[in-house]
Amino acid sequence: MSGPARIIQGAILAVAILAIWSFPHPMRAQTISHPDGRLRYAIALHGGAGVEPHKLTVQQRQSLEESLRKALELGADMLAGGGTSLDAVERVVCFLEDDPQFNAGRGAVFTRDGRHEMDAAIMDGCSRACGAVANVRTVKNPIALARLVMTRSGHILLAGEGAEQFAEEMKVQRVDLDYFDTDARRRAWEVLRANEKNRPVPVDVDHGTVGCVALDCQGNLAAGTSTGGLTNKRPGRVGDTPLIGAGTYADNAACAVSCTGIGEQFMRHVVAYDVAARMAYAKQSLEEAVREILQRTLRPNDGGLIAIARDGTIVMDFNTTGMSRAAADSTGYRVVKLGR
């Protein structure tokens, strides 16, 4: 082979190698930047679908919006400072779990036997590592325990007594059972108990499942969700929140999703994963995937979801009367809403 031919062959090989390395890979983070060189991040969170803004007092609405705003700024500041999407998601969900306005952590609804059973899940879109807990009763922040399940247990989902034992081993913060009680949740439970003969199936009258999805400056996605379940549910019932693919999902190749609503419906249709699958296989945009699921797959008033695509696109949609939600990104976009 002549000298010029070898040079040309070498150049072609170099270009081919560069092209392979540059091709987006779901397991390797891609840095996403604005034209001016600033690294990009995005975050969205929810405090449950089904909220009816027109039924809230001015004070109730302001209090709910202020809590969402504080949670949003907490997560956005972490991402703007170079924090990871996983850390931001966990911290935001912990903040919402500590707020008794929501049905997660303190403020969780009552089960039929007058206690609390909480579920949570978290997922890393870079590695698809995930962790979840179900029916925990003494863990102050179930989302923190879910992350430890992901990183320290060798498993994905721990439930009931096994999850409580793991919490003891991990030395996470535990609280007395009445820590989660609130007067509002107790009243709602008592009303359902009084009318149980007329309404034997528990319903989600106390909306407030919380969740967060984020894209960090390294291009990694993450999702987390936490809930107290349904008021007056049977002890041991588990909804979609801790089931990876049903209520929580994240994959750097597509999107991160956190769902809220009637858990059984989201489980039947594996909604969180379906959003990502539609993007991967049907080549739908995030907006198209979410719209079709809410309008064609789910029934009216089933719930809603928040999602962020790998390019930072944020979608927050629902087919209920409202959904408390907030979102921000590095362009300066900020929104906090309860209704349409």
Q: Is 297 noted as a catalytic residue in this protein?
A: no
Q: The dihedral of CA 91, 274, 270, 23: what is its sign?
A: negative
The residue ranges of the chain whose pLDDT is under 70 are 1-39, 197-207
The answer regarding whether domain 42-337 maps to CATH 3.40.1080.10 reads: no
What pLDDT is recorded for position 196?
A: 73
What pLDDT is recorded for position 11?
A: 45
CA distance 145 to 311: 29
- DSSP, collapsed to helix, strand or coil, labels residue 325 as strand
Helix axes 85-97 and 58-80, enclosed angle (nearest 10): 160
pTM flag (> 0.85): yes
**Residue 169, CA distances (Å) to 148, 174, 241 in order:** 11, 12, 24
What pLDDT is recorded for position 50?
A: 87
What pLDDT is recorded for position 195?
A: 84
Strand 210-215 vs strand 248-250: parallel, antiparallel, or unpaired? unpaired
Residue by residue, DSSP assigns 4-26 as HHHHHHHHHHHHHHHHHHHS--T
Strand-by-strand arrangement of the 118-124 sheet: 157-159, 130-136, 118-124, 221-227, 210-215, 42-49, 323-329, 334-337
CB 220 within 8 Å of CB 264: no
Tokens 């997560």 sit at which residue? Answer: 75
Selection from 272, 219, 246 nearest residue 85 by Cα: 219
What pLDDT is recorded for position 33?
A: 39
What pLDDT is recorded for position 262?
A: 94
CB 117 within 8 Å of CB 194: no
Catalytic member of 84, 111, 138, 209: 209
Q: What are phi and psi of 155, to 5 degrees?
A: -125, 180
CB 313 within 8 Å of CB 218: no
What pLDDT is recorded for position 32?
A: 40
Burial of 269 (0-12, 13-18, 19+ CB in 10 A): middle
